[in-house]
Amino acid sequence: MGRMHADEHAIDTTLVARLVRRQFPEWAHLPVTPLASGGTVNAVYRLGDGLTVRLPLTAGGAGDIAKEARVLPALGGLPVAVPAVVAVGEPAEGYPWPWAVHRWLDGAPALEGHAARGLAEFVLALRANQAAGPPARRGRPLSTVDTATREAIDELARTGEPFAPDAALAAWTEALDAPQWTGPPCWVHGDLMPSNLLLRDGRLTGVLDWATAGLGDPAADLIPAWNLLTADTRRTFRDAVAPDDATWARGRGRALSMAVIQLPYYRHTNAVISANARYVLTELECVPAP
């Protein structure tokens, strides 16, 4: 994976080890190992067997450290494990932002087509949470990303990627035309990408990366219907979550928007995100038939 952002800070094992040794000497003896990740906001390192270190790559992600520390304690009663913040580090050693140490969660990233029922149980349990929370990053109306989505569709059409822009625009227009959510804001994760979903023995057991979580439109947590599931398992997920048609349409639009924005930006620097964006566009029938 190459450098993803023009303003990305250089992070390596040596820097992480120095930060840990200086600020948390009780862990100085633990080995530091980089983790392969499709993430775009943080560099993630394993610290010993039981911890991970998360360091924002850019200034834009720095506020997520404090947000996760506030949000995660409010998430009781979920059917899966969520990260526990063990410590928050300070800028030092030339690294300019706060960083965090989390408990390690066992599991492997989700594979296409898996865990539809477990995912539905998680989404419904999170939605039922009554705790106060911040606005969800992707919990606002789709109209707030209309310009960015249309620009991304135009950009993607110029890249040479197999892509049907007319189909994408038609799907996007349909999502925009769906009635907006008028119920009370719900708790949503907002970034249910396969790399944030941990499986063990085919079951969903953990959900990572809560920086986008908060209160908003429940359609935000329908995106794995297209970025993870297949036609058959998508039906299982929809039947279990039971969204109305408008919410399902907005979720479809949210998945489309994320994919068309991600693919032109990350197509040469993040193979995981790029491959998933292509999967979404295929599931949405926005790729020309062979």
pLDDT in tens, 115-129: 999 999 999 999 999
- CB contact at 8 A, 2 and 271: no
Instruction: Provide mean pLDDT across the span 187-212.
Output: 95
- What gap in Å lies between CA 237 and CA 117, rounded to an integer? 6
Distances in whole angstroms, Cα of residue 232 to Cα of each of 110, 121, 226: 17, 17, 11
Predicted confidence (pLDDT) at residue 174 exceeds the cutoff of 90? yes
- What gap in Å lies between CA 279 and CA 194, rounded to an integer? 11
Lowest-pLDDT range of 64-68, 107-111, 142-146, 161-165: 107-111
| DSSP β-bridge partners for residue 199 | 108, 204
Instruction: Provide mean pLDDT across the span 163-175.
Output: 97
**Mean pLDDT for all residues in the chain:** 94
**Beta strands 85-89 and 99-103, pairing class:** antiparallel
Segments making up each domain of the chain, as ranges: 13-105, 116-283
Q: In the structure, what pLDDT confidence band is assigned to residue 159 with cuts at 50, 70 and 90?
A: very high
Give the CA dihedral 163, 139, 84, 199, nearest 10 degrees.
Answer: -40
Instruction: Provide mean pLDDT across the span 262-283.
Output: 94
Distances in whole angstroms, Cα of residue 197 to Cα of each of 231, 244, 264: 19, 25, 24
| CATH number belonging to domain 13-105 | 3.30.200.20
| pTM above threshold 0.95 | no
CB within 8 Å of 262: residues ≥ 6 apart: 273, 274, 276, 277
Angle made by CA atoms 269, 265, 166, in degrees to the nearest 5: 135
- What gap in Å lies between CA 125 and CA 113, rounded to an integer? 21
Pick the closest to residue 169 from 151, 183, 182, 184 (CA basis).
151
- CB contact at 8 A, 211 and 86: no
Instruction: Provide mean pLDDT across the span 207-226.
Output: 97
Looking at domain 116-283, which CATH architecture does it have? Alpha-Beta Complex (3.90)
- Cβ of 10: how many Cβ atoms within 10 Å? 10
- CB contact at 8 A, 234 and 205: no
Per-residue model confidence (pLDDT) at position 226: 97
Predicted confidence (pLDDT) at residue 290 exceeds the cutoff of 80? no
High-pLDDT (> 90) share of the chain, %: 86
Q: In the structure, what pLDDT confidence band is assigned to residue 2 with cuts at 50, 70 and 90?
A: low
Per-residue model confidence (pLDDT) at position 31: 98
Predicted confidence (pLDDT) at residue 28 exceeds the cutoff of 70? yes
Per-residue model confidence (pLDDT) at position 258: 98
Predicted confidence (pLDDT) at residue 152 exceeds the cutoff of 60? yes
pLDDT in tens, 29-83: 999 999 987 788 999 999 999 999 999 999 989 999 999 989 998 898 999 999 9
- What gap in Å lies between CA 187 and CA 139, rounded to an integer? 9
- What gap in Å lies between CA 275 and CA 193, rounded to an integer? 12
Pick the closest to residue 254 from 287, 285, 280 (CA basis).
280
Polymer length in residues for the chain: 290
Predicted confidence (pLDDT) at residue 1 exceeds the cutoff of 60? no
- CB contact at 8 A, 176 and 252: no
- What gap in Å lies between CA 240 and CA 55, rounded to an integer? 36
Structure tokens given for 10: 């250089």
Pick the closest to residue 172 from 282, 87, 227, 250 (CA basis).
250
Pick the closest to residue 280 from 120, 159, 112, 153 (CA basis).
112
Per-residue model confidence (pLDDT) at position 6: 85
* Residue 179 region by backbone torsions, left for phi larger than 0, else alpha for psi between -120 and 50, else beta: beta
